[in-house]
Chain A
Amino acid sequence: MYPEPSGPWARAVETDASQGAFLSVWGPSEGDVWAVGGQVASIGDAGQGMIQRRTDGSWATAEVPADTPLLNWVHGAGDELWTVGNAGAALRYDGSAWQAVDTGVDVPLWGVFVFASDDVWAVGGDAFDRDTMGIVLHYDGSTWSPAALPTLDRDSAAMFKVFGVEPDDVHVVGAAGVLLHYDGSSWTQEPSGTANDMISLWGNDADDIVAVGGRAIGTIARWDGAAWTVEEVGALPGLNGVWMDPEGRVSIVGNNGLAAVIREGFDADPEDSTVSFEVLHAVFGLDDGTRISVGGTLNSSPPYRGLIIENAP
């Protein structure tokens, strides 16, 4: 039985402008967790990447290759660990160091999801240029190549996150409420009914995926295996991060330091995150019930400051 989310959140790490903010957190085990992010000189700038690693409960800065831009997301499966970032950056961890892998694109990559060493998805796009379209890339073990996407019913400058339960059941969320689904052979667009940017998603089963986003209005979407149901929840600020525990309870984080738990449907019970002004951008849970959320002053002009908060059961 996975522990009930409870207890206070506490600040574990605070970074200054020399390192920047955190954007993503993930780890293969409670003794090995990675948080990525970085700093930019201005919005749209490629910036400088940062990685911190939590081992034995304590965080330390990890080495990143020179010229690594700001890193937006991290994910892995088994020993296969990837992080992606601005300027088309993708880095693979070889067990001792991060190695840059050419993706063939130069737009920001916002999300990555790893099934296996020869089955990795990444998504991205220039979110600041409405005249461009978001992209989906696939890594087959040797090269990254763009996936063929359907003609969308709207402009969507970026795909923000990708998540899959099985290799033939993959979801992507993106700008302007775009929701895509991959069935193992092709991508299709699913109706959303919202133009709100959808930022991230997580799930346990093929028929229970939760996506969040909204920017100015908290927006929650649930996939039941066949269709998405989307609710705009005005009382919540924009949501950025989501993680579902093995019991199906959903932790969400967002702007204005929001952290909350959805136990059923779309009803969120806010928690005291100890964070007021900063943005919480991602959340992830460990096997021992500890939840970790990361973020920073992403609602202000750069340079950013960052933070990691933890919630022990």
Chain B
Amino acid sequence: MLLNTRRYAVTLLAAPLLGCPIDPEPAPEEPVAAENIYARLGAPIPDATEEQLATFERGRQVAMRRFLPSDGLGPNANVSFCGSCHEKPVLGGSGPRYRDFYIVGEKLGDGTFIEGGVNGVLTSYGFHGADIRPGNDEGNNVSAHRNAIPFFGVGLIAELDEDAILANEDPDDADGDGISGRANYDQGFVGRFGRKAQTVSIEGFIRGPLFNHLGITTDPLPPEMQAALPVPSVASVRDEQTLGEGMDVFRQAAAPAEPLSDDDGVPDPEMSAQELFDLVSFSMLTAAPEPDPNPSAAAKAGKVRFAELGCESCHVSSLQGPRGLVPLYSDLLLHDMGEALADGIVMKVATGAEFRTQPLWGVAATGPYMHDGRADTLHEAIVVHGGEAKAAAKAYGALDSEAQHEVIAFLESLGGMDQASEGLLPARAEVPAAGTPGAPWDIEDWQEPRWIEGRRLFDRDMPVSEGLGPVFNGDSCRACHFDPVIGGAGPIDVNVMRFGTLGPDGEFVQDPRGTILHKLTTHDRPRLEHDGSHNVFEMRQTPSVLGLGLIEAIPEDDILAQADPDDANGDGISGRPNYVLGDQLGRFGWKAQVPTIAEFVRDAMTAELGVTVPQSDELLYGATEDDDDIPDPEISAEQAETVGFFIAHLDYPRPKAEVPEGREVFVEIGCADCHTPEFTTADGQAVPLYSDLLLHDVAPEGSAGVPDFVALLLEFRTPPLWGLSDTAPYMHDGLAETVEAAILAHAGEADASRDAFENLSSDDADALLAFLESL
């Protein structure tokens, strides 16, 4: 057996001590629970210093910082900020399924596993000239799902001495209990983070995903910063004292050791050392989920059953840390989980069937479960355990429902239950006050419960067991519509990918699968890929749904009155209505391809969530059947109507200020020719949306898009400008990072207005931008 380097170091130094008088061995101390480690999910540890609290807050801001291509996002990316994948139920947590991702690779004939993608990660978006939808290399014959894991309490895990983890090792199952945990390693240190314990340090666990999922490059923290982290990440004081200078022991220093670089043209590193320090500190300071201080009788009984079933063989109740026992319910070791769960992904010494025992603290609030998020519930998660855990899962399955409930109650008592949410809205979330973003609009008091229920359904993560998928972009309506509030727009990393083929004759040929190249699938299916025949890829940003009820109330004739399809007035502007589903006027979507809110709900349910809708005589959008195993329809008519009610009664974005001089410029240079400042509903309500809701050719020459009904390749609906300042980035593809960049990206019919903008005095340009930001 190979010696561990650090243990060898201890042996070397211990030798001279053998000649010293030996004191009688003291009686072993009773292990005590670590103190001051708990707080509500997402909060810092209670004994953080003022300085650490300041660092924690700065790190929180870094975690929420939205990176843009100009900041270094890409060239390949899945998401644009750290918090995107660690948001459930609060920042620092796990990720709903819409943030799942794929790990891919190739298994060769000699057994070698070659990582594909970006260090194994298959990405969804390309910037800086990379493929807009990066493909999965043909040679990759292994593809696995991953669901993001929570960060709660990771600083306490980082503090653990390696021996505390290795104490539970039994790689050859010497005790014959069928459980054979073994450690994973990185740079010679015991791995403890990641689904396969493939990472040893929090710094590494942050730098790796920053690069793999965001394309953000970093340098390793310099030693003086590593030493200043909340969990000192160089030699431990104890080891230095014991072993002496020159025999110090790394604990966290095995972060990816080299600076990272990419070729996106943005100078490396793309994140400063201070930001990285704050981000790592934030993670280290995030408290452990606090177990229920008054567990129910069922939970107490469940705890006994949990041990009796053998669950504690891997989910050991606690590991000894420097503060005392740390009750994470994991041995942090690798276990063979059987063929059904095996994903074929090799990480360090972990085989394709081995996974780290997932800590269970806070588990009630961080579903879905398992490495690929296949389990909607804790019950499902237990049942699908295989391999070394099969016996325990089988024993659980043999319990009666009450006993199973006790086990679940115990797991729910391990912290976070009071913060658990079906989506991301906190339980009993308040209704925003009138006039604030996301507030109800035009409802009576008696209608508020229905609005709240609609909001709940809008926010709720659709379980696979209820029909999510088989292909999807989001697992809830909120998954894409959350900026700045639920119902709002979405950042660049929830863009929908449209695709197809533009033939030599200029004709667009739709793929048999449709024009959406979905980002995700349920865990049992590989991602949808394009092939060499596809040459059109068009990202579409998530438009806000705030104020849609008002837009729906605009009389059709008033919209059509703005139309001038043949530019009869010779002003160079030729707005065209989109007629969809027969003769309905399209109002919503980047191509005005959706006529009503009811159709929007049905369309999005199917197109974005993979959820089937009921047959309807009046409503035509949405699929009424799909090929998953869930009975169709997967959402009821009443549920769809309730979601529609919520959307129809979301307040419109209110102007933040009056900027008359900017509005004047807006009109003068022709912006208002398409961005019609205001319509009026039939009952006289003003609708200051700044859009004519018509189609215009505004794309640059040479670009190619996806047609939709009568909307041509390069035509887009004039997007409403209300709420503009809260919906960056801009344009249909989200590649305009500022309002100014968006104006400059206009072409075609908007050439004259763009030219006029470019020739404005700086005062006028500033006024115009201030006006737009005020909307």
Contact = CB atoms under 8 A, between A and B. Distances in A.
A191 B110 contact: yes
B682 interface: no
Nearest to A272: B12
B187 interface: yes
B520 interface: no
A301 B3 contact: no
B639 interface: no
B186 A217 contact: yes
Contacts, number: 110
A299 B258 contact: yes
Given A154-B108, A256-B253, A235 B4 contact: yes
A237 interface: yes
Given A256-B187, A256-B188, A267 B1 contact: yes
Contacts of A235: 2-5, 185, 188
Contacts of A177: 112
B612 interface: no
Interface string B182-197: 0111111100000000
A194 interface: yes
Contact of A270 (B8, B109, B219, B253): B8
B111 interface: yes
A255 interface: yes
Contacts of B266: none
Interface residues of B, number: 43
B261 A43 contact: yes
Nearest to B256: A216
B433 to A, nearest CB: 51
B259 interface: yes
B108 A276 contact: no
B312 interface: no
Interface of B is mostly: loop
Contacts of A44: 261
A153 B108 contact: yes
Interface residues of A, number: 39
A253 B8 CA distance: 15
Contacts of B8: 269-270
A153 B109 contact: yes
B259 A274 contact: no
A234 B169 CA distance: 14
A43 B110 contact: no
A154 B107 CA distance: 10
Given A43-B261, A193-B111, A237 B2 contact: no
Contacts of A216: 186-187, 254, 256, 348
Contact of B235 (A194, A266, A270, A276): A276
Pick the most buried of B110, B115, B256, B261: most chain A CB atoms within 10 A of its CB: B110
B325 interface: no
Contacts of B108: 153-154
B114 interface: yes
A267 B3 CA distance: 8
Interface string A110-150: 00000000000000000010000000000000000000000
B431 to A, nearest CB: 51
A299 B250 CA distance: 14
B188 A218 contact: yes
Nearest to B187: A237
Contacts of B220: 299-301
B742 interface: no
A154 B188 CA distance: 26
Interface of B: 1-5, 8-9, 12, 106, 108-115, 183-189, 219-220, 222-223, 235, 246-248, 250, 253-254, 256-259, 261, 346, 348-349
23 contacts: A43-B259, A153-B112, A154-B112, A176-B114, A193-B111, A193-B112, A195-B346, A233-B2, A234-B188, A234-B348, A235-B188, A236-B5, A236-B188, A237-B5, A237-B187, A256-B250, A267-B2, A269-B8, A270-B3, A272-B9, A276-B246, A276-B250, A299-B220
